Amino acid sequence: MNALHELRTVRPSSVDDATRALAESGAQALAGGTDLLPNLRRGIGAPLVLVDLGAVAGLAGIDVQPDGSLRLGAATTLAALAGHPSVRADWPVLAKAASLVAGPTHREAATLGGNLCQDTRCVFYNQSDWWRAGNGWCLKYRGDKCHVVVKSDRCYATYHGDVAPALIALDAGVEIAGPGGMRTLPLAALYVEDGRQRLTLSSGEWLTAVVVPPSAGWRADYAKARIRDAVDFPLAGAAVALRRDGHRIAGLRVAITGTNSAPLVVPTLGVVGATWDAESAAVLAKAVQATANVLATTVAPVRYRRRMLLALVRRLVDELWNEG
């Protein structure tokens, strides 16, 4: 581990003050720090200012709204999210996904906003400073070459979050604060399929809350493949939300993680309206294969991750269909 470089820390107490601080050149948001601080100790990133969001008023909280929707403050911890009675009762996939992130002590510190905006990962990037220097750095940070796809002009580091696909399957939206005021967008639109750019946020913009629609008629679940049963990021993961109407699929949302530079939505137009059978499963499998772009960004074999992703999606839809 490296010693942290010299930097300044500010601790704003309001959304407006935090926005102004984050608009400063070289500023970076700090929430639970479970992703950011280990990277900084490895020499990954060199912000000039850390904007500690821990004192921003009203940034944490889990509230069921009068219309039945769920509003989650960005500073809500994953432990609080996983254990909240209303979340467990009405949006159980969200509680499950949060409970599968890292270990218990991480979840006590890690925040929802930080988890959603976490850095992408790659076996050539998440290394010690001397290792990365010895390999000529990489396109994501300080280098000019992607070691995964050597002739590419973009970074293929992978997004490995658990909570984002669950929220995308639930059709969640996010509230973004910035110099131009507040704006909202679907959670899926927060991400860019580029391991270096990652997010669609402009300078000074940051995530303040997540809003989840009422769960009416939908059932959802999340599963991931990982080497160990605790702590590990997903090598491949999928969240599925399904609404059944008799012998047909009235609605289906599938989101994947651990395979691409962003959590992505899998098109399901060829399956919605049909019954769930071998033919529909084959159509969905082709859509998953067309969406996923599994590359050698982890120590796990590419073929294994591809096959696990297909198996996870098939199993989740099978179970949700039968439960419905």
**Residue 140, in any domain of the structure:** no
**For residue 199, what are the β-bridge partners?**
191
Question: Are 67 and 20 found together in one domain?
Answer: no
pLDDT tens digits for range 103-121: 999 999 999 999 999 999 9
Mean pLDDT, range 164-185, rounded to an integer:
98
Residue at 21 is within a domain: yes
Q: What is the CATH number of the domain that holds 11?
A: 3.30.43.10
Helices (H) and strands (E) in the chain, counts: 11, 12
Residue 227 lies in a domain: yes
Q: Where is the domain boundary, 20, 35, 53?
A: 53
d(CA 291, CA 288): 5
Helix (H) or strand (E) run with residue 242 in it: strand 236-245
In the sheet with 62-64, reading across from the earlier edge strand, the strands are 62-64, 70-73, 206-212, 173-178, 181-186
Query: Which residue, among 258, 77, 83, has the nearest Cα to 164 in the 3D structure?
Result: 258
Strand order of the sheet with strand 248-257?
219-225, 236-245, 248-257, 264-266
Among 53, 76, 95, give the residue marking a domain's end.
53
Domain assignment present for 75:
yes
Whether 80 is in a domain gets the answer: yes
pLDDT digits (tens, 9 = 90+) for 47-59: 999 999 999 999 9
**Do 2 and 113 belong together in one domain?**
no
Are 44 and 83 contained in the same domain?
Answer: no
Same domain, 176 and 201: yes
199's CB contacts (< 8 A; 6+ apart) are: 117, 190, 191, 192
For residue 115, what pLDDT is reported? 98
Domain count, the chain: 2
Confidence at 5, pLDDT banded by 50, 70, 90: confident
Each residue of 241-282: pLDDT tens digit?
999 999 999 999 999 999 999 999 999 999 999 999 999 999
Q: Is residue 124 part of a domain?
A: no
Distance spanning both ends of the chain, measured CA to CA = 50
Q: What is the pLDDT of residue 212?
A: 98
Handedness of CA 136, 137, 142, 146 (dihedral sign): positive
Closest by CA position to 185, among listed 175, 200, 193: 175
SS3 state of residue 105: helix
Same domain (yes/no): 312, 189:
yes
Mark whether 100 and 183 lie in a shared domain: yes
Residues 1 and 78 in one domain: no
Distance from C-alpha of 256 to C-alpha of 265, rounded to nearest angstrom:
7
The predicted structure's pLDDT at residue 272: 98
- How far apart, in Å, are the Cα atoms of 190 and each of 3, 193, 252, 282? 32, 10, 21, 30
**Statement: residue 31 has pLDDT above 70:** yes
Rounded Cα gap, residues 282 and 135, in angstroms: 42
Domain carrying residue 7: 1-53
Q: Are residues 24 and 71 in the same domain?
A: no
Query: Which tokens sit at 189?
Result: 């639109």
Whether residues 221 and 72 fall in one domain: yes
Domain check: are 174 and 89 in the same one? Answer: yes
Does a structural domain hold residue 250?
Answer: yes
Other C-beta atoms lying within 10 Å of the C-beta of residue 178: 17
Q: Is the pLDDT of residue 126 over 80?
A: yes
Residue 182 has pLDDT above 90, yes or no: yes
Question: Is 142 a domain residue?
Answer: no
- pTM across the whole model: 0.97
Q: Of the candidates 33, 53, 73, which is a domain's last residue?
A: 53
Residues 36, 106, single domain; the answer is: no
Check pLDDT > 70 for residue 1: no
CATH code for the domain in which residue 292 is found: 3.30.390.50
Same domain, 214 and 171: yes
Above 90 in pLDDT, residue 229?
A: no
Phi first, then psi, for residue 224 (nearest 5°) are -145, 155
The tens digit of pLDDT for each residue in 64-75 reads 999 999 999 999
Q: How many residues does the chain have?
A: 324
The CA distance from 255 to 238, in Å, is 6
